[in-house]
Amino acid sequence: MSIRRPQFLAAGCRALLQESKPQSQSLVRKYGTVSAVAPQVTRPASTFDKALAATAPRNDWTKEEIKELYDTPLMNLAFAAGTVHRKFHNPASIQMCTLMNIKTGGCSEDCSYCAQSSRYQTGLKASKMVTVDSVLDAARIAKDNGSTRFCMGAAWRDMRGRKSGLKNIKAMVNGVRGMGMEVCVTLGMIDLEQAKELKEAGLTAYNHNVDTSRDFYPSVISTRSYDERLQTIQNVRDAGLNVCTGGILGLGEKPSDHVGLLYTVATLPSHPESFPVNTLVPIKGTPLGDNEPSPFDATLRTIATARLVMPRTIIRLAAGRTTLSEEQQVLCFMAGANAVFTGEKMLTTACNGWDEDRIIFNKWGLRPMESFEVEALRELVSTSAPLEAKQEKPIEATA
């Protein structure tokens, strides 16, 4: 029994074959000809692609480009940052810095996060500057425990009229430098001549954080302008000192302010030698004493983006590291962080101790960075050749 197909179905099939015939013919390969192939279109390299392929720092970033990097899916962002990190740094080397408060409290500034402001009732008692000998004793202990950078902080607005204080600080700097350690101070605003005096005494770096984005800054501080901070940074650079400047997460800002912070530092005439990433440690009695903790993903995003836009800068896990788990800290190291504050205390808040860091370093194959190692490394990566191709031997972890 035969089955008759409906006439309309047969006619439809013939029409479909007829319509497709010219196209199929055009794709048939003939002798001496090439079949029709759609041309390949090369898309322009994205900001992410350019950052990943970078062989040198750049200072002409736009906020839009930094935002594009910051908004990259976090796994991709962290992996890319780790890749760039290995081009410009030894991934096993972590700078260990110890910070000492050489003059506590009584500061006239109104920084909303700071326990040392005289405007807030935090229970912190103001004190005079400590002695030179006490600083040198503390530096020796730090060095014996593996720290190679010793930092000193004084709670005041600026150095005007503090000739005796500057004299003592120069003696501290000279003594610590004599131990073979890098030396950093944070003393508020300084002018060019004061910066030069500190340079002559042996100072390695000067810290002066910009704290946050230019837009959000007035919500945090009113007694010192953003431009005054930038002028101090310029004075430090003009004196030939390394610049250390970073920010604080958890002040009540938005992600766009993290982008703004990175934009400020990444477009400086020269990138800072180091970029501290602090997370707010809320202090009761300060205006920000009840702030919610900053989420870890914000810290990781900021570190990873900083690594992409400032590939040669040291990125330091600073205040608030005690809230991070061991695994979170290691993830930050993988994404580009390569310095920590370690020791008995930060300025007025808790600090991860040397013994704790030694355990982490041994477990994960990390080692303390040697003094002035970064300067030598920058010479090593002065060409575009990958760092790993230049190393003569693998890095071994040390106790």
Residues marked active site are found at: 107, 111, 114, 151, 184, 244, 316
Helix axes 296-309, 63-70, angle to 10 degrees: 130
Could you tell me the two tokens for 289? 């004493």
Could you tell me the two tokens for 174? 């000279």
CA torsion, points 116, 122, 123, 124, in degrees to nearest 10? -10
Q: Can you tell me which residue has the tokens 């837009």?
A: 215
Greatest extent of the chain over all pairs of C-alpha atoms, in Å: 116
Write the DSSP string, 284-312. Answer: TTSTTTTPPPPPHHHHHHHHHHHHHHSTT
Q: Can you tell me which residue has the tokens 């900001």?
A: 47
Q: Tell me which DSSP letter residue 113 carries.
A: T
> Which H or E run includes 321?
none
> Which H or E run includes 221?
none
Could you tell me the two tokens for 120? 């807030």
